[in-house]
A and B are shown apart, each in its own frame.
Chain A
Amino acid sequence: MDMITSILAITIRAGTSLVFATIGEIFTERAGILNLGIEGIMLMSAVTGFAASFYTQNLFIAILVAVAVGAAMAALHALLTVTMRANQVVSGLSITLFGSGFASFLGQRLGPAANNFRLVGLKGARFTPASFEGLSQVPILSALANQDLLTYIVYLLIPLSWFFLYKTRPGLWLRSIGEDPQTADAMGIDVIKAKYFYTILGGVFIALGGAHLSLSYTPGWAENITGGRGWIVVALVIFSMWNPARSIWGALLFGGINAVQFRLQASGTTIPAAFLNMLPYLGTIAVLVLMTWWEALSKKVGSPAALSQAYMREDK
């Protein structure tokens, strides 16, 4: 029981950043914008958030900085794809390319002179688990309750975003934009403005995912701290069928793979580390294949119909 509890606790910790980013990307894709810049946004918010936490020792400011950076990068993606009508795939890739390059540049430049201007190896303010008195003895529940503030925010974010998307009027509007922007436009929704808004909102959540990595999960800055999480998130959005409530399953699955990997490595298994490290990536491919196959079998279409198509009012 103790082992299950501890694996679950690690799983939730590892899954937090994934859920944040998955929900962010769901909002973005529901508005018909495919943002493949997640990896770059997460890296940029991780590095800037950590730098802010190092210099101010204030977590609130750190989060604020990370979120502002994520929002700005998502706004750039919106500008390029919505206004300038650039190809969404290539624009997202550029955000990731630029973001990972610039993040590693900042990591080598933002640090103090004493550390050769590097951020690697420094300690900043970090989130610590806040436990609840009564729950810390209960087996499974203590895994849920012994987490940091950002994880508790995730607990709230999942039902709230589900409620917003499926039970409110603006949520209905959002879904209609991704399915049929022409009709949404005819209904009087400002499609362009909404696409900007939800892409930037998505960027904010993605940034929180990135900040969670450098401020809590693996506190500090390391090159490529995300390790491909931004890409796994793109798969998780498909896995959750663009439904925020289901984002939790994918995140638990991949957080779980991470946890099992750690456990196996710690137990001194004979499986080479390289093969263990392949698990999340192979898992992503497996999930993707299964989901696509299942979608074809059940004739259910999860993806917004107008995803990654540029919207032009003049095209009639």
Chain B
Amino acid sequence: MRIVFEKRKSRARGVLFAVPALSFMISLLLTGIVLLIAGADPFETFASMAFGAFGSSNGVSETLVKTIPLALTGLAVALAFKLRFWNIGAEGQLVLGGIAASWVALFFGPSLPGPLVLPLCIAAGLAAGALWAGIPGLLKTRLSVDETLVTLMLNYVAILFAEYLYYGPWRDPKGYGFPGSAPFVESAWLPRIFGRAHAGIWFIPVIAILLWILLRRTRWGFELSIIGASPKAARYQGIAVQRNILLAVLLSGAISGLAGACEVTGISHRLQQGLNIGYGFTAIIIAWMSQLNPLAIPFVALLMGGILVGGDQVQMMMGLPSAMGTVMQGLILFPMLAGSLFTEYRIRLLGRRHKRGKEACAEGEA
């Protein structure tokens, strides 16, 4: 008997949902083992994680605060990954978006008419994110330079640039040595809707639905899906592969930049430390768990936001390391990846009879 893998022609719907769900279960199990080794009761820990994230209005608001950048960067990453452009620079694009929005708020906010400030901050964030993604995008499409490394290296550059700004020229003179810029004028604040959760949350459904329509219902989306499946086939069909990749990458960067603009205008109201806390990497998990489906991303982002907030909670309540949430996120990906075997392939056990039949066919052809 032999095991045979057949590539599925289309992905099976049932498997598509079952694999991420099962992966989450397995990751709970694996995290439970880690917790046991670390000397904590897994059930108690999970219960207090869930309670911390969703059990109080404060918890829910903090979970939403984390969900906003995670969902936006998740959508950004999914768009780029659809084209096999491995953008792991969402973090840097987010930071640069935050810097640009801060620039507008700090230097033009006081003199501009009030209603103009916030839209301009958002626009600056979008543009800066697109610009930061455009560098690896151009290098990839013009010179075929590997984008994985360039996007990643630009994360470090953006983070260091932000550090330079809030420790250096933008530092608040009245900040008592606190590393951060001066606070923005109030016209640059995104309104709060629930606790610390701000109006940036409305961007999530808008962008998720627009992206879904774009990818599934428009000609451009159709072209992108062909490029993602096979650039060669796309070229034969007369699709402008390089230009389309660049456009999608710019759009991806813009969405991450928007996330950064929302962070500074919605949460901190200044440029300060803590803009880069691994959202870009968590975004990759979210995009992959959602199987790059824009409509699934907000929900997975909510789950991941909950894990992060719950992780902080158990750190305070049970004295577990704060990295607990990150470990759990990492553990979700492995069963997910192993599961791709089941979404991409049909597994069949071939008995002797079948094999013999195949050989007979081959002989007949000969």
Q: Which residues of A contact B (CB under 8 A)?
A: 36, 76, 79-80, 84-87, 89-91, 93-94, 97-102, 104-105, 107-109, 228, 231, 234-235, 238, 272, 274-275, 277-278, 281-282, 284-285, 288-289, 292-293, 296, 312, 314-315
On whether the beta carbons of B149 and A105 are closer than 8 Å, the reply is no
On whether the beta carbons of A101 and B334 are closer than 8 Å, the reply is no
Contact check: which of A86, A91, A272, A282 meets B157 at CB < 8 Å? A282
Closest partner residue, chain B, to A293 (CB atom): B143
| Nearest-Cβ distance from residue B46 to partner chain A, whole angstroms | 16
Contact residues of B between 116 and 146, Cβ < 8 Å to A:
139, 143-146
On whether the beta carbons of A84 and B340 are closer than 8 Å, the reply is yes
Contact residues of B between 69 and 120, Cβ < 8 Å to A:
86, 88
With A101-B329, A274-B164, A288-B145 already in contact, the answer to whether A93 and B156 are too (CB < 8 A) is no
Contact check: which of A94, A285, A312 meets B5 at CB < 8 Å? A312
With A285-B150, A288-B150 already in contact, the answer to whether A98 and B334 are too (CB < 8 A) is yes
Chain B neighbourhood of A109, CB < 8 A: 38, 321
CA distance A109 to B288 in the complex (A): 30
Chain A neighbourhood of B139, CB < 8 A: 289
Chain A neighbourhood of B5, CB < 8 A: 85, 312, 314
Chain A neighbourhood of B323, CB < 8 A: 101-102, 104-105, 107-108
The A interface is mostly helix, strand or loop, or mixed, namely helix
| Proximity bits, B1-33, A CB within 8 Å = 1, else 0 | 000111100000000000000000000000000
Closest partner residue, chain A, to B281 (CB atom): A97
Chain A neighbourhood of B168, CB < 8 A: 272, 274
Closest partner residue, chain A, to B146 (CB atom): A288
Contact check: which of A90, A289, A296 meets B288 at CB < 8 Å? A90
Chain A neighbourhood of B154, CB < 8 A: 281, 285
| Nearest-Cβ distance from residue B83 to partner chain A, whole angstroms | 13
On whether the beta carbons of B163 and A94 are closer than 8 Å, the reply is no
Contact check: which of B149, B160, B161, B326 meets A101 at CB < 8 Å? B326
On whether the beta carbons of B337 and A80 are closer than 8 Å, the reply is yes
Q: B213 contacts the other chain (Cβ, under 8 Å)?
A: no
Chain B neighbourhood of A284, CB < 8 A: 149, 153
| Nearest-Cβ distance from residue B282 to partner chain A, whole angstroms | 8
